[in-house]
Structure 1
Amino acid sequence: LYHDDGHALALRDITGSYRIQDLRLDVGEDWRGRPAVGLTLGRMEGEFEVGAIEIGGAGKSFGAFNLSFLLEDQVFGGRNYTNALYLQGGGHVDAGAQGLRLAAQWSLRLSDLSYTEDGNRVIISGLQSWGQGDITVNVTRDGVQGGTRFYDGLRIGFEGLEAGYRINGMRVGSDDAPLQGGTELLLALGIYPAYDFTLDGHMTLGAGGASGEGLTINSDIHIRDGRAAVIAAPYDEGNGEQPQKGLWLTDMTYDGHVRNMTLDVTDEGLALATEESWSTMDIGNVRIGNGVDGESLGRLKIQRFEQGSTTLIKPGGAGNVCVGGAGASASACSASGGEWEMRGEEGVTIEMKNILARAQSSEKRNSLLWETNRTVDGQGRAVNGSGTRLVL
């Protein structure tokens, strides 16, 4: 799939199938009346499987991946969504007359994702997603133009992208295994069990990594009107869809910035190194129960500033381990009162070093704010900054 200075990222034993109904190509207008070449889809279902994901010099495997999906018109949150792509000339307005603009709308009615390593399988069940907005594509040069900061590389921009997704639950073993919780474990990967948001910003992919080939990433992301679940019950337990209940982060805004993050395929695995990153997440209400009007625990504001942080993602998990004892062999482990477990060769090992840097400004710093007892405005909304605050 990808070579970086002689190191390969490979997808092996790929299989799959798909079926398409009512795929149309027309010259017309998008939903905002802009001239475009439109590609619309009535229905598409299929399955895609990768038998092994290998990386690094030893050719070790993360395991296997499977995706089944159904793209079809559906109503989410009282709004109709379809699958359409409208191609227009011109990207970001400050990047010049050339480029591409894609007015996109999608409706992923149902999808299951599964991950298998050493014969053990976990399934993310009942994934649904929907959205609508503009995606721009430009090749840009480092500098400021028209008041917008650009970077060397391929710039993928997002303008007013209103989107969301939700996960019904997890299954272990087979597709018909009992639905269970556990989606909150995805938080370790930065994935919420359910999330609605409006996205603006960009991600620019430049050539060259930390040394030689690779990628350099610069990005500025702004999210508004966010509502994310930290813990969420299934939206459908077999008796029809129902509002998800759980612990929610609502009325949320997020500003995130990444500077010169390099991505390289190395002999050990996938290496990421970030020169500098900072972000602010302002959560208007932490709610329990319903994500719209559940009881509020107050406001949270989290600021994060890092310099020189690194991550290494390596194939292969725990391997052979001694549980409850000590020893490098089965006999030594047993002699110490432990249990020797052979957990196989596949899996994922992640090494992380996060460096929280000293504050440089009101935006670039590490802090946590909790605010309660806020006053409300004429529309009954809490006014940030008017209550009692605890600040770290």
Structure 2
Amino acid sequence: MDSSTFFTFATLFYLAAMILYISFLIFKKEAVGMAASGVTYAGLAIQTLALALRWIESYKLGIGRVPLSNLYESLVFFTWSTVLIYLIVEYRYKTRAFGAFVMPVAFLALAFINVADISADISPLVPALQSNWLLYHVLMSFIGYALFAVAFAVSVLYLLMDTEDRGPTGNLYLALGVIASVVALGYILTGMGAKVVFWLGVGVLLLAWFTYLVVAGARNRSQVYLFWSFCIALVAGMLLFMGLDYVLFQGRHLPAEETFKKHMFESTFLSSSRAVAVLCWAGVLAIFYVVWSQGLKLRTLLKQFLPSPEHLDDLTYRMIAIGWLLFGVGGLAMGAVWANSAWGTYWSWDPKETWSLITWFIYSLYLHARFVRGWKGTQMAVISAVGFMGVIFTYLGVNLVLSGLHSYGGL
């Protein structure tokens, strides 16, 4: 069996672990929790073996390189790092509740490889990657990403546990109206060829909302709960319809060169049928409504399993502090030195470099606010959540959407 087979096994183990961790929260059976931990350890062991096999396979092909050079390998290593860090946190804090939020990230990251038709071929390094800096730069960057991912999961839990009252229903209806209006405006402007203007406007709107939450979130918990519901609903909705879109794509039996990436969301949000697109967005809004209206029930369920909010806040800080250092040194500083040797300049404002710097500044703001302003709690959890959105775009968004000097990291 080759490394790809073992990665498939690891994906299945992480799926089983995800189900077991969620079942542990629902049924409150210690045996289920122990089974979840055992399956996670087994999945990590299998994935470790798969990484080692892929490294060996590269030598057998006469290439001989560390398996960290393309999107497939980086996703695999990101997942491995995230699971490893989670298990350390589980052992240190003696709680399995985090697993229900971390293991879905691990499973979905590996499943995304198959869904997006990401190439698993072992190919020679492009000239820019033929350097001893590769191992240190990518290793430290992705351990930093993994730490940020765990911090994000803990922050989401903190925002939920810190909510006593979801606020008036009017907040929900206003949010649903705003989302529906923005989506409708997006289709109109895109049809007029003003796609860039639309996304700039969305960016400004989100930035204004995030700024308000950071500044006034501690005094307006209902808006923070709305933000929490929005994040959960958006992720759940996108994943649900991406899965549906993938099933429909497979049923079309297109030529092999027609990848899912080229046709993503064509059968749902980007469907030529306006009625289908409206129904999909209505589904997202329905998920938002359910999450907002039922979220506090999840809070009641989790309360008996989680450490105190103070411990959650402290754990988020520890993850971000270490991740910030690793990402700053390995991702930015070492990356700049490597870029100078490969391209003759330390900084070229490549999309990947730019978004990496933006992400690092967000987490710098987190640490600055904690040390200088003395902020803790809700405001910090919001910054952590926003920071991880930057991580996602830096990692996947830039690779899949934009082009630049880091284009070799794409599909």
Same fold (TM over 0.5): no
Q: TM-score, normalised by structure 2?
A: 0.24
Select the structure that is richer in strand: 1
Q: TM-score, normalised by structure 1?
A: 0.25
Greater relative contact order (Cα < 8 A, sep 6+): 2
